[in-house]
Structure 1
């Protein structure tokens, strides 16, 4: 696991991971017209969280969240917590795969079995992840500019469909629902950045990298605020009930009366983001298993981890409705220990300077 990448490359992975599936699914819609405010607040919290994760790693010799758990909690409790994180990485990866397969069969390939789509996607990710973090970084450097170009093209083409009256009333929900929307936005996608700690042992963490990471999260949040605002102002109340609201907005585009079906760009944008996010989850699960079982290389764990992700994506949710309900109502609370509570505890223990005895 000796590859090392420049942090300037890592920021592409950070951006792709955070925008990932969220650029299509759009977090914060529980707040309805105030979704953009919820996402803006979520972004501010996300900026603090990425700085926190970097600090946690830097005071623990550049270790990832799994390494920190074993280092600070000991070989028994530490490995139990590390195994919990591997489960979380696998579960998050399975959610991404299911999002892709549901989207593909809903809007593009209704006759294609979801299993077939999942297998193709995971085979691509296995090939990428087995080649190491440097290959992942280079892949992301190539595809993120494409993602950004498509996002800005879609926004530009949708401007003539924007109806700002759809954003009124500006704050239609009570404070309790708004707080829930902010909490949901923090858990997805910003606090999921805890997965990104698996990249930190492969790069240098310093003040410059801290600034770059925080700035990248801020830019990602700006993209999501823009996507929310354009989608709601285009679709109105329909945006709050649509399964894939940004895609539905893109369907409204007719460029110069001859370029139609521009929503293909929306599909490609989602797929690029999902692949980046899935690659990090698969990499994290594989590296985590290698640390837990004291293996010299993570590569042997990539295929087993991918098989688990694929099976979980198919078996854990019976249908799209169950997936959406679980993601909205349960996921933020389910993810809270992994994203904030355990890292917070590890940070306190690290500041106290308590290091567990090695096995």
Structure 2
């Protein structure tokens, strides 16, 4: 970051702002507008999890380790442990039918992928249902019902996607969901069958509260850093032109744009998010919390709706919307930390276009 840059050189992206309330907090919580915001927020989180197909994964992780799961109290099921220290769990047949075919034995058993077809099918079914129903509702609520007054809610009120790009982002989302949902189904099968390499733990007392807080922050920053550097790498000329440009055809993005990208780019991004689960011990609550936070704001940031966040570290929607509008700038997602450090925040004294790579733009020519 340039130490000589004044605070007024950069565009303002206020974090942690909430609108002032004219009524009491209690009354405000139950207004129609507030309930609509809460409902939309839940819908966005569900759509985000559908886009990456991880809802089934989290359910399987918790079900598979339910006897070990303790958050606010110490373990009381220690007497259920056997001599190896493992907690007994029900057989897979208690929840899923076991196929009497070669898929349930041999190589699949060796790699902890027994009944993988059930997990992949379940992941895809649930993900597509959420994608179509929730995504369709959000699209209708803003881009159809309120299309005639975009100045009230839209980041770019004079720009909408063309019909062709709307169809393209929807179809690309369907394709990416096929790959992401399949990966989540494979991971779910691995977890369910006792795959040994995941470092997710379930008893808060195993490492204590201090480690829980530290590891949660570390996971959040690791994922944010991974997303920033991966995203910035995708803006190198070769990778941008051959992969990431698929995503940047949506100059005025919608919620569907968040999952509309090259399938290879989408799979790599999901693997970056999953990688900490094999790197260091992380509590299940931290995993679910961080993932749903990323999924939720990933959808919000692409929604095109001019919103701010109550969290002091989270940039407003305009921050990422400007990235789609100006291309090679504002690479972060859930903090401004790495953009500030590398001086890749959009600045008033520079111009940006699709041909100016590396996040610095070009100095504005001074008029005589």
TM-score range, shorter chain: under 0.3
Q: Which of the pair has more CA radius of gyration? A: 2
Q: Which has the higher contact order (CA 8 A, sep 6+)?
A: 1
More helix, by proportion: 1
